[in-house]
Chain A
């Protein structure tokens, strides 16, 4: 042994004591390392859970505050909101897939009517535009509530059972879950103020194409205006704005095509699409098919009617993070509209002949995007 001022190894006067401590430490780590890890993860989840609760309560509070400006007191709205908490849609059975799309369409129609009726009760004095914004603001608050409940479930389950698998699963997904939650929380402000969201790029392009032309309603919350592009008659279709609506573009396109007995040369759909990590935001891509991200019925209608009459289906998508799609539209996405218009014109010019009839549909949520330039 050396002679030094202090030596921790000499505290026990002999080496064997150090060895005992060392072996005890190793044994403890052997038996308790996983528990220690679980505790660290549980504390991380606990912190995230407080943040999620904060997001959920804040968005619910903002919704109640905003809705209370339209005919009901905050207490009344809070009571109604509590009733809607945990609202769900049971997807149709697909064990026998026959008619699943029709059943899904029916359920979606019922859900839409139910939410609209609920909103009518909550904000009786709001106009249609504001009511649809409030409806989707409430949907965001409900989603946050659901995220919070799910994380809380796994957190309590993991703490109760000390099961590392439950805890690890949720801890590893936490960064993505928090990103999604934060996006929904931020989306609340966009819906409250009526700011266009990333998903609105399709309707924005449609509006630019419509210009000053007079639109008319073709289907539920869907408008269309006929314009001339490169000598072709182009029916530009978009959801009815400037409230938060996506409408039923599939039904509108089906009606247009059937109304012309299939005499349509081309259908072009424009929509926002999820980008892969590494791809630049607002990158434009072209493809074949119906660019529409609905649960199924609307896309089915477009594909069905196009197949029935042999109409080519072209799609233009604007790539964005799926979180950009629900928060206020970024500058680069808004700026991409000009390039998309050029691409639409190029497709129409190369795939059709002058005098042909073409349908161009701007798919997505039209919040903050009107129906014609220089008017609502």
Chain B
């Protein structure tokens, strides 16, 4: 099944990327201030290091949220297959589902072995390998 292209809210990503960049810059400045005075540790440099690390943590969380949101906007692809069985020779055929197929129907397909008409024995969906998550 092919899913139609979905509108992606780019404005939302731009705001997120800008905040991420802002947090990264500020926390790097704090870290620099803290680390550049490591030789003479004062309360102030210690506070700068803590704020820098906290900022990087927040940046990581914002980045992760953005990544997650991107994933949830993507629609997972899955394929629907029709399984046919030739009652004469026992040949199994697997093909893509076609509208009008139903289990039990004698298909218009031709058995590649004995040229008779196989019956549909199953119809099911399958996610392509590597995209197993369905929801």
Contact = CB atoms under 8 A, between A and B. Distances in A.
Interface of A: 1-2, 4-9, 47, 50-51, 54, 178-179, 182-183, 189, 193-196, 204, 207, 241-242, 323-324, 327-331, 333-335, 337, 368-376
Contact of B6 (A7, A54, A372): A54
A241 B123 CA distance: 14
A20 to B, nearest CB: 16
B45 interface: yes
Given A2-B40, A8-B48, A330 B102 contact: no
Interface in B42-90: 42, 44-45, 47-48, 69, 72-73, 78, 80-81, 87
B80 A204 contact: no
B135 interface: yes
Contacts of B130: none
Contacts of A8: 29-30, 33, 48
A368 B123 contact: yes
Contacts of A368: 101-103, 123
B102 A369 contact: yes
A374 B119 contact: yes
Contacts of A327: 125, 134
B72 to A, nearest CB: 8
B93 to A, nearest CB: 16
Interface of B: 1, 6-7, 9, 12, 29-30, 33, 36-37, 40, 42, 44-45, 47-48, 69, 72-73, 78, 80-81, 87, 97, 99-106, 119, 121-126, 134-135
6 contacts: A324-B134, A334-B124, A368-B123, A370-B105, A373-B104, A375-B104
Given A329-B125, A335-B124, 6 more contacts: A5-B36, A47-B9, A241-B102, A242-B103, A368-B102, A374-B87
B109 to A, nearest CB: 14
Contacts of B106: 374-375
A237 B21 CA distance: 64
Contacts of A331: 81, 124-126
A369 B135 contact: no
A9 B124 contact: no
Contacts of B73: 51
